[in-house]
C-alpha cells in the first residue's frame, strides 16, 4: 500500500462548532411556535422541509432560515403576521452572525498535520458563510488548499483529487460525518478517519457505518490524528 501524501479536513463540527448552533436555533423556533405545535412535530416538519429544499437552497444558515419560514407557513396558522416572520428571520440572523468557535485542540492538530503533509480544507455549504467561518477561525495559514463544495459525493472527491493530482489511495479525509467525510472517500479507494462530534444533523448519519473497513479509523479527538497519520505514512496501514 502507498502511504498517505495528502490530507483533507472537514470544517463544520471538525474544526469549529456548527451543528449545536443549528440545534439551538431549532429550539428557539420551537419556543416561538410553542402554542401551535409540539417540538417533535415541528422537528419532523423542519427536517422534511430542509431535505426538500437542499437542491435549491443548499446547506447552511440561509437555507435553514428559509426552510424555517416555510415550516411556519406549512403549519397553516391562518394569517401569519409580519412580526412572526421577522422573529424567524431574527433567529436566522443570529445563527449567521454567531462568532466562529474553533474546537479545542483543532489548531494544534492542524498545525502538526501541516508540518508533514499538505492539508486541504474540504467543506460544504454556502460559499459566503464558509469563507466567513474560515477567515474568522484564523486557520487558513495552515492550509495548502481550500475547497468549498455544495455536496460531498464520490464525484466531488474524484474531481478534487484530479485537480490536486493525487491518487485516491494516497488521500486521507478527516471529519465528523459518516455520510460526507467517510463513506464517499472509502468508496473511491481513499482513507478516512471519523472524529465524532457530540451532535450530528440527521441527514449526515448513515444506517450502517463501515466501522470494520480496513481503510477507516475512528479518533476520539483531532489530537489523535497526527500519530495515526504518521503510522499511515510510514507503513501504508494503521496499527490494529
| Cα(53)–Cα(59) distance, integer angstroms | 9
**Domains of the chain and any CATH numbers:** 6-17+101-235 (3.40.50.1000), 19-97 (1.10.150.240)
Is residue 239 over pLDDT 50?
A: no
156-178 tens-digit pLDDT: 999 999 999 999 999 999 999 99
180-192 tens-digit pLDDT: 999 999 999 999 9
Would you place residue 150 in the very low, low, confident or very high pLDDT band (cuts 50, 70, 90)? very high
b/e sequence 106-129, b meaning 16+ C-beta within 10 Å: bbebbebbbeebebbbbbbbbeeb
Q: Is 117 left (phi over 0), alpha (psi -120 to 50) or beta?
A: beta
Residue 133's SS3 state is helix
The mean per-residue pLDDT over the stretch 65-85 comes to 86
42-74 tens-digit pLDDT: 999 999 999 999 999 999 999 999 999 999 988
What the block records as the C-alpha cell of 60 is 447552511
Is residue 24 over pLDDT 50?
A: yes
- Tell me the pairing of strands 6-9 and 216-218: unpaired
Is residue 35 over pLDDT 90?
A: no
Q: What is the pTM of this model?
A: 0.91
Q: Tell me the average pLDDT of the chain.
A: 92
Is residue 235 over pLDDT 60?
A: no
Is residue 127 over pLDDT 80?
A: yes
Which of 34, 28, 113 is closest to 64 using CA atoms? 28
Amino acid at each position: 500500500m502507498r502511504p498517505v501524501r495528502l490530507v483533507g479536513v472537514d470544517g463544520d463540527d471538525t474544526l469549529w462548532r456548527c451543528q449545536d448552533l443549528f440545534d439551538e436555533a431549532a429550539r428557539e423556533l420551537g419556543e416561538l411556535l410553542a402554542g401551535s405545535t409540539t417540538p417533535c412535530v415541528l422537528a419532523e416538519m423542519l427536517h422534511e422541509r430542509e431535505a426538500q429544499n437542499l437542491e435549491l437552497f443548499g446547506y447552511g444558515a440561509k437555507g435553514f432560515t428559509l426552510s424555517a419560514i416555510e415550516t411556519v407557513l406549512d403549519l397553516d396558522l391562518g394569517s401569519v403576521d409580519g412580526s412572526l416572520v421577522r422573529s424567524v428571520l431574527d433567529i436566522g440572523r443570529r445563527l449567521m452572525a454567531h462568532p466562529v468557535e474553533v474546537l479545542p485542540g483543532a489548531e494544534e492538530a492542524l498545525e502538526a498535520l501541516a508540518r508533514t503533509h499538505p492539508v486541504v480544507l474540504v467543506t460544504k455549504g454556502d460559499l459566503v458563510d464558509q469563507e466567513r467561518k474560515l477567515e474568522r477561525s484564523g486557520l487558513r495559514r495552515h492550509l495548502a488548499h481550500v475547497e468549498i463544495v455544495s455536496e460531498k459525493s464520490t464525484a466531488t472527491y474524484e474531481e478534487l483529487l484530479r485537480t490536486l493530482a493525487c491518487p485516491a489511495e494516497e488521500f486521507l479525509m478527516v471529519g465528523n460525518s459518516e455520510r460526507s467525510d467517510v463513506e464517499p472517500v472509502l468508496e473511491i479507494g481513499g482513507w478516512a478517519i471519523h472524529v465524532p462530534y457530540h451532535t450530528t444533523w440527521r441527514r449526515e448519519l448513515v444506517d450502517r457505518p463501515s466501522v470494520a473497513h480496513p481503510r477507516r479509523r475512528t479518533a476520539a479527538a483531532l489530537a489523535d490524528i497526527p500519530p495515526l497519520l504518521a503510522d499511515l505514512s510510514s507503513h501504508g496501514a494503521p496499527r490494529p
